[in-house]
């Protein structure tokens, strides 16, 4: 059982006990503790979990019955643990509803939906069952792009200060290489998710875009393996990745209207333009995000500059063409069979 699930089971048990629970009752009645191979292993697990909960602000108290040490019990002080009455202003509710709509990724969408449902069930003023506060924001809420499989393991690694290893494709060359990182923060900027941490091999802070991580993220076994600096200026570290630039595109007439809607003045000097195409310049911050969009237009949009954006789009189109060729070959073999 994952440690987080065992901790949640312990919290539920200690919150709902009528008086307290002894260690023996915890071992026998709380899911996850029966997996301990010995009494000593259970003792270490339980003591560690108590410390973890207290470190998270959960008030686990000891109840001494005054007798044998086996009679010592544990419970959670519900008065200290319970949240005060929630009284949010309409403006605060609007921001909360907007934040809940922000999470379009399945990893967090379920949690935010449950949170809003609980607020409605608690009768929070201004947030009726109809969700009027959310309805007023329809069409205004931004969306965070899908995080991918790397997010969960990286978030756990940041929380527990465990080193990670993963395969990473560089933006400039598209080359895959192994990375060993001490993860400090996960941040979203300009529609993209980034990991900020210390590259162990390069012995320097680095930024890694989560969408360029390929394969499984391998998390180190030892918690507390490194110390996160007290002050991590995420914006400063991400500054180079977030600088606004201009992409010059050749676009087929009357195509890619969403791209044309963001057009700015075309630079004075542009590469040669294919005959019959319009020249369009658009601002961008993330090579990967824009490449994902432009590749979807196939041959209706040709990237003229900058070179790294062009290379990323070409790589995506080549991968799609190779996949199509492979699928077609399989279908042909199947039809012959």
CATH 1.20.120 fits 3-81, yes or no: no
Question: Six-digit token pair at 335?
Answer: 């039809």
Question: Six-digit token pair at 272?
Answer: 């040669």
SS3 104: coil
Tell me, what's the pLDDT at 334?
A: 46
CATH number for 151-238 (one of 2.60.40, 2.30.30, 3.40.50, 1.20.1050): it is 2.30.30
In tens, the pLDDT along 231-271 reads 888 777 776 555 778 999 999 999 999 899 999 999 988 89
Listed in sequence order, the residues at least 6 apart from 196 whose beta carbon sits closer than 8 Å to its beta carbon are 183, 184, 185, 186, 187, 205, 206, 207, 232, 234, 237, 238
Tell me the backbone φ, ψ of residue 298, rounded to 5 degrees.
55, -130
- Under 8 Å between Cβ of 169 and 176: yes
End-to-end CA distance of the chain: 47
Long-range Cβ pairs for the range 132-138 (8 Å, 24+): 133/90, 133/93, 133/94, 133/96, 133/97, 134/97, 134/100, 134/101, 136/94, 137/94, 137/97, 137/98, 137/101
Tell me, what's the pLDDT at 72?
A: 86
Residue 107 to residue 55: CA distance in whole angstroms:
25
Domain positions in the chain: 3-81, 90-135, 151-238, 245-321
Tell me, what's the pLDDT at 25?
A: 92
Listed in sequence order, the residues at least 6 apart from 98 whose beta carbon sits closer than 8 Å to its beta carbon are 137, 140, 141
Tell me, what's the pLDDT at 145?
A: 57
Give me the residues of the chain with pLDDT under 70, please. Answer: 65-70, 101-111, 118-147, 171-173, 190-191, 239-242, 326-337
Tell me, what's the pLDDT at 136?
A: 45
Tell me, what's the pLDDT at 226?
A: 95
């Amino acid at each position: 059982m994952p440690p987080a699930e065992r901790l949640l089971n312990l919290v539920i048990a200690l919150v709902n006990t009528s008086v307290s629970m002894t260690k023996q009752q915890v071992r026998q009645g709380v899911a996850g503790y029966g997996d301990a191979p010995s009494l000593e292993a259970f003792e270490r697990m339980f003591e560690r979990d108590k410390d973890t909960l207290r470190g998270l602000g959960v008030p686990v108290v000891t109840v001494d019955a005054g007798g044998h040490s086996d009679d010592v019990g544990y419970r959670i002080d519900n008065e200290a643990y319970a949240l005060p009455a929630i009284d949010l202003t309409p403006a605060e509710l609007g921001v909360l509803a907007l934040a809940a709509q922000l999470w379009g990724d399945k990893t967090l969408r379920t949690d935010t939906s449950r949170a809003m449902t609980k607020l409605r069930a608690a009768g929070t003023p201004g947030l009726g069952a109809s969700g009027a506060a959310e309805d007023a924001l329809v069409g205004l809420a931004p969306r965070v792009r899908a995080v991918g499989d790397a997010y969960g393991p990286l978030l756990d690694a940041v929380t527990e200060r465990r080193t990670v290893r993963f395969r990473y494709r560089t933006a400039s060359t598209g080359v895959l290489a192994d990375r060993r990182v001490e993860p400090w923060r996960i941040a979203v900027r300009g529609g993209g998710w980034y990991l900020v941490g210390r590259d162990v091999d390069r012995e320097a802070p680095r930024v890694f875009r989560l969408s360029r991580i390929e394969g499984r993220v391998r998390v180190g076994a030892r918690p507390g393996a490194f110390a996160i600096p007290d002050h991590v200026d995420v914006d400063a570290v991400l500054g180079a990745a977030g600088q606004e630039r201009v992409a010059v595109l050749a676009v087929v007439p009357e195509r890619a209207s969403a791209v044309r809607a963001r057009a700015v003045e075309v630079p004075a000097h542009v590469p040669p333009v294919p005959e019959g195409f319009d020249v369009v310049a658009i601002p961008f911050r993330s090579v990967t995000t824009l490449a994902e969009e432009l590749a979807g237009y196939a041959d209706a949009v040709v990237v003229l500059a900058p070179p790294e954006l062009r290379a990323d789009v070409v790589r995506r189109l080549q991968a799609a063409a190779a996949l199509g060729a492979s699928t077609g070959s399989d279908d042909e073999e199947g039809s012959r069979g």
